[in-house]
Amino acid sequence: MYEYTGNIHMHSTFSDGALTIPEIAALGNKQGLNFLIVTDHQTLAGLDQGMEGYYDKTLVLIGMEVNEHSHHYLALNVRTVVPDNESNPQQVINGVNQQQGIGIIAHPFEKGSKFYHNGLTFLWTDWSVQGFQGIEIWNHLSRWRDELTGIFRGLLLILKPSLALHKGPYRETLRLLDGYQVQGKQVFAYGGSDAHGIRFKLPLTSIEIGSYEQGFRSINMHILTDQPLQNNLEHDRQLIYQALAQGNSWVACDYYRNSRGFRFEAQSPRGKWGMGSTISWHRGIDLLVKTPYPARVLMLRNGELWAKSQGTKHRFPVNRPGVYRVEAEYRRGWSWQPWIFSNPIWISE
């Protein structure tokens, strides 16, 4: 398998971002990312102007973010604009599905901060919806903003934005995702930067909120493909979107430890299966996990902690069906920091 790293969910000057798509791509190149997916609000202007493609070694793909005030929805691999419909987000989901795109519920739970736009949040509240492909479990900008709990804390976060990475995704988001997966629904985990790069001017300086560079170093998507990228837009677009749609991927905070080299698969005498796979229960299945650095690996079954291991190579014999996924943590100082959140392997009856 071939591993590639990308960052999804960001905004350019076509909506409320500070940089143009070529400028964003240059920062992606600097961080060594293989792909970026720009998701400007309510527009596909970058796509319409032919700005998808390779910029040096980084492939830029263009989707969009639908809805303005609530029920934000990432629409990937679509070719025409999906109209807003905040009062009936099912229609937005249907619009993405009609184009056979990938639809992701963005930052569904936010707490907001009175120090940032008077506690403004962009929540997802309609859980009667069906047919979406993913949930954004870790949004860098959203989590940073929610950590603005006081003036002193805010100053620390401005000086060191990485402090917002220490707590990881909201557990309620992970519980929600687990609930769908236990029902057998092919709903996958995604994470992104939500980078805007907006600068607020102060008397003697300026503050950047939602830095592209910081975001590209932090919450990334890693995908596995059965073919290499070929520096060809059409071929590589299809390969990347296929891996994302099939859940052969994981979400990671690469800021302190890059997760490149992580692997999670099921193995038995009958074969091997990767993340996003569904296999029938039979005897002799082992779940194998490899981490590029020593880690504490938590194996969850049906959303509950089932087993754990420390080291770089981890083996979990399976004794019953279930939905299995991995959370990996690395030791930083005296504590364990959230690091990797895999997509699941379904082992059915």
Looking at residue 13, what is its pLDDT?
98
pLDDT band of 207, cuts 50, 70, 90: confident
- Residue-wise pLDDT for 211-268, tens only, equals 999 999 999 999 999 999 999 999 999 999 999 999 999 999 999 999 999 999 999 9
Mean pLDDT of all residues belonging to the chain: 95
DSSP character for 98?
A: H
How many other CB atoms are found less than 10 A from the CB of residue 63? Answer: 26
Which helix (H) or strand (E) segment holds residue 38: the answer is strand 35-41
Determine phi and psi for 79, rounding to 5 degrees: -115, -15
**Pair of tokens at residue 317:** 């014999």
CATH topology for the 263-348 domain: Immunoglobulin-like (2.60.40)
DSSP character for 10?
A: B
Question: What does pTM read for this prediction?
Answer: 0.96
Question: Domain coordinates of the chain in residue numbers?
Answer: 2-253, 263-348
Looking at residue 44, what is its pLDDT?
98
Q: Roughly how many angstroms between the first and final C-alpha of the chain, as a whole number?
A: 28
- Residue-wise pLDDT for 15-31, tens only, equals 999 999 999 999 999 99
Looking at residue 152, what is its pLDDT?
87
pLDDT band of 117, cuts 50, 70, 90: confident
Give me the numbers of helices (H) and strands (E) for the chain, helices first please.
8, 20
- Residue-wise pLDDT for 69-79, tens only, equals 999 999 999 99
Percent of the chain with pLDDT over 70: 98
Q: How many residues does the chain have?
A: 349
Looking at residue 201, what is its pLDDT?
66
pLDDT for residue 202 is more than 80:
no
Looking at residue 114, what is its pLDDT?
85
Q: Whose CA is closest to 212, among 220, 201, 202, 224?
A: 220
- 2-253 belongs to which homologous superfamily? Metal-dependent hydrolases (3.20.20.140)
Looking at residue 151, what is its pLDDT?
84
pLDDT band of 203, cuts 50, 70, 90: low
For 310: left if phi > 0, alpha if psi spans -120 to 50, otherwise beta; the answer is: beta
Q: 51, 60 in Cβ contact below 8 A?
A: yes
Calpha distance 327→252 (Å, rounded): 10
CA dihedral 158, 163, 169, 172 (to 10 degrees): -80
DSSP character for 161?
A: G
- Residue-wise pLDDT for 143-172, tens only, equals 999 998 888 888 888 888 888 999 999 999
Place of tokens 């403004």: 120
R_g (Cα) of the chain, nearest Å = 20
Question: What letter represents residue 110's amino acid?
Answer: E
Q: Whose CA is closest to 140, among 106, 175, 165?
A: 165
Q: 292, 260 in Cβ contact below 8 A?
A: yes
**Pair of tokens at residue 227:** 């073919």
Q: 195, 10 in Cβ contact below 8 A?
A: yes
Question: What letter represents residue 107's amino acid?
Answer: H
DSSP character for 282?
A: -
